């Protein structure tokens, strides 16, 4: 009797309990199994640089060292054909497009029902993209109407700068952001300065107004 090989899934999330829950869900599928887990970007890349590659990688955006967006870019550079699906608490309307630009094939928010995650995995494995219906509509509308100058400027931000902009718009101080991202305050201040330069903003107050308006508009 022929042996049917199961789809090999890798999980990258810094919360062990969430990884365990996703692993149980995936392993309950007859044709899927979790072959590796990692809690940060360094661990993930070590697995991917070995001889045993997964068929798909599920990545959270908030990791202890390398940001999820940076990790997606690194994975895409190392193994361009390896599909990556983002599974995150971060708002899809803010992060999905950026994740796709970094090389991801889909985006699922963690509060979605488990059936959505399995559906997304299967869709991405078929070579398609997966986004919620509302996000698909948003991107189609943007495609039809064209990018604004503001959106083009935002696309010039690095993944780390983009993450900092999002947290500024959510009302966090530099100290808050440093703690959330496990970075030094000096690093966050450098990111803030770079963001102001790239977005052509004159000072910190202007940056906060811009970030807050951007977060509101994204919703």
How does pLDDT run across 20-75, given as a tens digit for each residue? 999 999 999 999 999 999 999 999 999 999 878 899 999 998 887 778 888 999 99
Name the burial class of residue 13, with classes exposed (0-12), middle (13-18) and buried (19+) by CB atoms within 10 angstroms of its CB: buried
Domain identity same for 16 and 121: yes
Tell me the residue range of the domain where 118 lies. 7-139
pLDDT of 1 reads: 46
Of 83, 109, 139, the domain-final residue: 139
Residue 153 resides in a domain: yes
The pLDDT of residue 139 is above 50 = yes
Domain identity same for 114 and 190: no
Residue 144 resides in a domain: no
CA angle, 170 then 172 then 177, to 5°: 115
DSSP state of 110: T
Residue 2 resides in a domain: no
CATH of the domain at 66: 3.40.50.2300
Domain identity same for 114 and 155: no
CATH of the domain at 168: 1.10.10.10
Between the CA of residue 198 and those of 33, 120, 161, 212, what are the distances in Å?
A: 43, 34, 10, 17
Q: Which structure tokens are listed for 205?
A: 């107050």
Domain identity same for 95 and 201: no
Cβ within 8 Å of residue 168, ≥6 positions away: 177, 192, 207, 208, 211, 212
Question: Looking at residues 186-204, what average pLDDT do you find?
Answer: 92
CA distance 14 to 6: 25
pLDDT digits over 141-194, tens only? 666 665 555 566 777 888 888 889 988 988 899 999 998 888 899 999 999 999
pLDDT digits over 80-96, tens only? 999 999 999 888 878 88
Residue 44 resides in a domain: yes
Residue 18 resides in a domain: yes
Number of domains in the chain: 2
pLDDT band at 215 (very low <50, low <70, confident <90, very high): confident
Burial 142-170, CB ≥16 within 10 A → b, else e: eeeeeeeeeeebbeebbbbbbbbbbbbbe
Of 107, 139, 171, the domain-final residue: 139
The residue assigned the tokens 């919620």 is 132
Of 139, 167, 201, the domain-final residue: 139
Residue of 214, 128, 126, 125 whose CA lies nearest to 171: 214
Domain identity same for 100 and 192: no
Residue 17 resides in a domain: yes
């Amino acid at each position: 009797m022929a042996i049917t090989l199961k789809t090999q899934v890798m999980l990258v999330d810094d919360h062990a309990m969430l990884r365990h829950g996703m692993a149980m869900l995936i392993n309950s599928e007859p044709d899927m199994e979790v072959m590796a887990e990692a809690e940060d970007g360094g661990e993930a890349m070590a697995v991917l640089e070995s001889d045993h590659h997964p068929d798909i990688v599920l990545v959270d955006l908030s990791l202890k060292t390398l940001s999820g967006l940076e990790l997606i870019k690194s994975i895409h550079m190392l193994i361009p054909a390896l599909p990556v699906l983002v599974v995150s608490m971060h708002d899809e309307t803010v992060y999905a497009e950026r994740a796709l630009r970094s090389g991801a094939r889909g985006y699922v928010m963690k509060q979605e029902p488990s059936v959505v995650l399995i559906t997304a995995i299967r869709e991405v494995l078929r070579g398609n993209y997966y986004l919620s219906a509302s996000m698909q509509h948003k991107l189609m509308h943007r495609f039809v109407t064209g990018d604004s100058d503001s959106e083009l400027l935002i696309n010039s931000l690095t993944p780390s700068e983009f993450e900092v902009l999002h947290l500024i718009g959510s009302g966090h101080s530099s100290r808050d952001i440093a703690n959330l991202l496990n970075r030094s305050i000096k690093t966050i201040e450098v990111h803030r300065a770079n963001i102001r330069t790239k977005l052509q903003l004159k000072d910190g107050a202007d940056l906060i107004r811009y970030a807050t308006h951007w977060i509101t508009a994204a919703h």
